Structure 1
Amino acid sequence: MGERWTIFTNHAAVLLYLLEHPGATIRRIADDLGLAERTVVGILRDLRCDGYLLVQKEGRHNVYRVNPEGPMRRPEHGGMTIHQFFVRVLRDLEQARMTIQNHIQKGGHRPGDGGREPELSERL
């Protein structure tokens, strides 16, 4: 196998984390995502400056709100907002899930199983 890799960049990981934990501290974000606090500070600055995060001060802490209207930056995403992008991703993932489920029901192998027969527990 190759080196360990992930689907999402650190920026995406922080953004997705803040959807579930808007009141998280920098230390908590760093600890939970396995990042250095300095890295998290830089990512939060980038996301805020580019309009992906709205930051509100509540007492001594910041609360981070993801801006669903933030623009996707890659040209191939056709000027979609974050919200539009994830709606599309969810739709496409559901279609892919149904295709794979139909394939398995017809006796095919699961993606990533190397062509092996599924264990009994996996078939139940």
Structure 2
Amino acid sequence: MVGAPEPHAGWTFITNHARVLAAIAEDQTMRVRDIAARCRLTERAVQKIISDLEQSGFLSHTREGRGNTYQIKPGTALRHPAEAGLTVAALLTLLARVDTHRTASRDGGHPAVEDA
């Protein structure tokens, strides 16, 4: 089992919620443990963030066997007034580490998001 991630001192540009959302966008079946390792967060923090995202309508999940498959709601507007008019899809185009040329030509959109 992996221990707690190294602490980070100082500020960052991206929130933990955005990091978790981007990790899920890259692999919608990623385990909480793997999201936590990738985002350098605790599993408990990731579980709380996923719950926040689901309660706010940015994300949903379905249980598949022992794991979850997440569905991102791309048309959901970002919450802060300074980002009025911007959607989750716009945010993910900046954050997600996916081959957008390959996936866009295949399905017309982001691989880990469902139609709004």
* Cα shift readout 1:32-72 (whole Å, capped 9, x = no counterpart): 21101110010000001101112111112111121101111
Q: Secondary structure at the match of 1:35?
A: coil
Task: Judging by fraction of residues, say which structure has more helix.
Answer: 1
User: Is 41-50 or 29-38 further displaced after alignment?
Assistant: 29-38
Partner of 1:77: 83
Indicate the residue corresponding to 2:33 in structure 1: 27
Residue 48 (1) aligns with residue 48 (2): no
TM-score scaled by length of structure 2: 0.65
TM-score, normalization by structure 1: 0.62
Aligned identity (percent) is 36
For 2:47 and 2:14, locate their aligned partners in 1 and report how far apart those are by CA, in whole Å: 18
1:72–1:80 CA contact under 8 A, matched in 2: yes
The 1:54–1:5 alpha-carbon spacing in structure 2 relative to 1, beyond 3 Å, is same
Q: Tell me if structure 1 keeps the 8 A contact 2:77–2:84.
A: no
What SS does the corresponding residue of 2:41 show, helix, strand or coil? Answer: coil
Q: Distance in 1 between matches of 2:57 and 2:72?
A: 9
Segments of structure 2 that go 5 or more residues without pairing to the other structure are: 1-8, 95-116
Answer with 1 or 2: which has the greater Rg: 1
Amino acid of the structure 1 residue aligned with 2:75: E
Higher relative contact order (CA 8 A, sep 6+): 2
Counterpart Cα distance in 1 of 2:32 and 2:92: 25
- Tell me which amino acid in the other structure corresponds to 1:54: S
Residue 39 of structure 1: aligned partner = 45
Q: Which runs of 5+ in 1 are unaligned?
A: 90-124
